[in-house]
Amino acid sequence: MTKDLLKLLDLSKEDIVQILNTADQLKYDQKHRIPHDYLRGKTLAMIFEKNSTRTRVSFETGMFQLGGHALFLSGKESQIGRGEPVEDTARVLDRYCDGIMIRTFGQEEVENLARNTKIPVINGLTDFCHPCQVLADLLTIREYKAVLEGLKLCYIGDGNNMANSLIVGGLKMGMEVSIACPEGYDPDPKVLDFAKSDPSHKFSLFRTPKEAAVGADVVITDVWASMGQEEERAVRAKAFAGYQINDELMALTNEGCMVQHCLPAHRGEEITAEVFEAHAQEIFDEAENRLHAQKAVMYLLMKDKED
Ligand code: CP
Ligand code: NVA
């Protein structure tokens, strides 16, 4: 494994498989009340410069279940919010803690943090990517479908952090990935370059959701306006009209097609209430799997190396 989890582009297929297999084991242990306090006495600092429900609760609970402790640092209330350089914050947390989870805006802030500390850094979402969420998505799809390789993953909507991580994670795991987003809202060029970099990658980018959804085994969407884009909501609502997961779109997919949504969801925008409720079991299993996938990441990155 790498020292940090900064983006899925840094991981090999074997790293992802190791995380998913470890998550399966830790989930089994938790469900069967088998002690798994491998991070006894260790502390995770959690820096949040954006809002969160799932990421905060799943990291904090996960650290507790692993026998360790998590502490919450709000960007606004810590010295980070008053401009203390990230390099200094990194070198201070290094002296107290065993790992750092950070949710922020720029990917470069997370990369800079990781370069300046010896302890593992975990990306809990940036504008560029959301690796922990996509590890949970892959875990959920594998639970339902038994394999990932050869399945068709279809993403409809904004070419945002979720789209970027789904393209990379899906292709690395041998899935076919098809995306539909309006012009001007494409995934990051680095991610599109990655998709084109290997002739074995099955990747398509469409402008209409229907073209992307045909024959899909899993359909995924996300909000049209991400955190930090609140002022663009009206403009985006117009740009994304028609990029909705609804019954008509689901009719084009394979039988037993799953729906995933990282949440929070906006019913009536990127997904109808009907499709959301018909797939609520899969969507809330996905939310639960944040806990198990992140426990695997924390275990693999933060355990004593001689373990
Ligand atoms: N999906 C997700 O990351 O949720 P939160 O924003 O609530 O952490
Ligand atoms: N794309 C969304 C994901 C939220 C979990 C955002 O960045 O706000």
Q: Domain-by-domain residue ranges, the chain? A: 8-130+289-302, 133-287
pLDDT in tens, 90-100: 999 999 999 99
Only one residue has tokens 């990194």, namely 90
**CB 55 near ligand 1, within 6 Å:** yes
Average pLDDT, integer, range 137-152: 98
**CB 258 near ligand 1, within 6 Å:** no
- In the prediction, which pLDDT does 75 show? 87
CA of 172 to the centre of ligand 2 (A): 22
pLDDT in tens, 238-247: 999 999 999 9
Rounded Cα–Cα distance for residues 301 and 68 (Å): 14
Amino acid occupying residue 284: F
Per CATH, the homologous superfamily of domain 8-130+289-302 is: Aspartate/ornithine carbamoyltransferase (3.40.50.1370)
pLDDT in tens, 20-40: 999 999 999 999 999 999 999
**Catalytically active residues, by annotation:** 103, 130, 133, 222, 262, 290
**CB 227 near ligand 1, within 6 Å:** no
Average pLDDT, integer, range 91-115: 97
Nearest CA to ligand 1 atom 1: 262
pLDDT in tens, 54-76: 999 999 999 999 999 999 999 88
pTM over 0.95: yes
Sheet of 258-261: strand order equals: 202-206, 176-180, 152-156, 218-221, 258-261
> Nearest 5 degrees, angle CA 199-CA 202-CA 206?
120
- In the prediction, which pLDDT does 190 show? 98
Question: Which has the closest alpha carbon to 160: 223, 218, 202?
Answer: 223
Buried residues in 44-54 as b, exposed as e (16+ CB within 10 A): bbbbbbbebeb
Q: How confident is the model at residue 305 (pLDDT cuts 50, 70, 90)?
A: confident
Only one residue has tokens 């950070």, namely 102
CA of 182 to the centre of ligand 1 (A): 24
The phi-psi region of residue 135 (left if phi > 0; otherwise alpha if psi is between -120 and 50; otherwise beta) is alpha
Q: How confident is the model at residue 7 (pLDDT cuts 50, 70, 90)?
A: very high
Domain pair 8-130+289-302 / 133-287, same fold: yes
CATH code at 133-287: 3.40.50.1370
**Residue 306, pLDDT above cutoff 70:** no
Average pLDDT, integer, range 96-125: 97
Average pLDDT, integer, range 273-277: 98
Question: Which has the closest alpha carbon to 131: 166, 172, 177?
Answer: 166
Average pLDDT, integer, range 78-101: 94
SS3 sequence of 159-227: CCHHHHHHHHHHHHCCCEEEEECCCCCCCCHHHHHHHHCCCCCEEEEECCHHHHHCCCCEEEECCCCCC
Facing residues of 74 across strands? 48
**Residues enclosing ligand 2, CB less than 6 A?**
125, 160-162, 222-223, 226-227, 262
- In the prediction, which pLDDT does 67 show? 98
Q: End-to-end CA distance of the chain, in Å? A: 14
Is 306 or 114 the better-scoring residue by pLDDT? Answer: 114
pLDDT in tens, 216-230: 999 999 999 999 999
